[in-house]
Amino acid sequence: MATVTYDAASRIYPGTTKPAVDSLNLEIEDGEFLVLVGPSGCGKSTSLRMLAGLEDVDRGAILIDGKDVSNLPPKARDIAMVFQNYALYPHMTVFDNMAFALKLRKTPKPEIERRVKEAAALLNLQEYLDRKPKALSGGQRQRVAMGRAIVREPQVFLMDEPLSNLDAKLRVQTRSQIAALQARLGTTTVYVTHDQTEAMTMGHRVAVLKDGLLQQVDTPRVLYDKPKNVFVAGF
Ligand code: ADP
Ligand code: ADP
């Protein structure tokens, strides 16, 4: 359970003058699936990485449940992130990939077993727990990456283009699987994509970024209905 607040948050990369993300104001509700969308280079990943603690917040702040986390290291934030390339450990089995973060946190073994098996059931990975990533299809690897995030039972999920390595057909299937899973878990989620269809079909609300600036944030319905919206016109 968590709300996320970007309070005029900016990131200015060293050696640059123009903010990559410029005074972002955005309130993400508890349980919401918010999609950040926009063309390449508009600041989506930077926004996500600031929330994860992987980039500095140079001006403004980011709050989780009203608490300023801007200066907390990534490990002190109750956040799980799914990356575009999945970042699975190649030498570990699916089970161990999913259990790894829990082992680091000294979670008791029976609890680890329970959570991994529960996530594997949700993601249809029960048969693959003993395999290593190289023995999995692209879609299975993507599900392991999701599973690794789910077992943490974090306050917030972050996903950065998690479907971009899947073929078109699988991408469409996985879209609805992720949306259904998020609805079931009710975990506040920020999802980054440059794909407008993905944004409009998956997000409760969609935040449109351009050149580091937030253009608008609305439900997909309102975005479609707006006669002159920047979403359609922008890219
Ligand atoms: P997006 O995710 O929308 O493609 P990014 O957040 O990756 O956009 O990048 C936003 C802007 O910041 C771009 O202009 C990009 O070139 C720049 N940028 C990203 N990472 C760095 C970095 N490490 N150093 C300098 N500039 C960066
Ligand atoms: P390593 O070479 O790191 O010891 P493994 O012994 O796990 O890796 O894998 C040996 C081969 O068997 C690899 O080519 C891998 O793709 C395949 N493999 C591993 N686990 C499974 C599995 N559960 N089902 C099918 N093939 C597998």
- Say yes or no: CB of residue 117 within 6 Å of ligand 2: no
**DSSP 3-state assignment of 75?**
helix
Q: What pLDDT is attached to residue 226?
A: 73
Using CA atoms, how far residue 210 sits from 14, 37, 88, 125, 218, in Å, is 21, 9, 31, 38, 15
Tokens found for residue 155: 């306050």
Q: What is the pLDDT of residues 48-101, one digit of tens each?
A: 999 999 999 999 999 999 999 999 999 899 999 999 889 999 999 999 999 999
Residue 229 has pLDDT above 90, yes or no: no
Percent of the chain whose pLDDT exceeds 70: 96
Ligand 1 centroid from CA 210, angstroms: 12
Residue 204 has pLDDT above 50, yes or no: yes
The predicted complex's ipTM stands at 0.74
For the chain, the average pLDDT equals 93
Residue 233 has pLDDT above 80, yes or no: no
Closest CA to 179 of 165, 167, 162: 162
Which residue reads 């899973």 in tokens?
181
Residue among 89, 91, 96, 131 to mutate when testing ligand 2 (max atoms within 8 A of CB): 131
Q: What pLDDT is attached to residue 228?
A: 55
Residue among 37, 45, 235 to mutate when testing ligand 1 (max atoms within 8 A of CB): 45
What single letter denotes the amino acid at residue 72? L
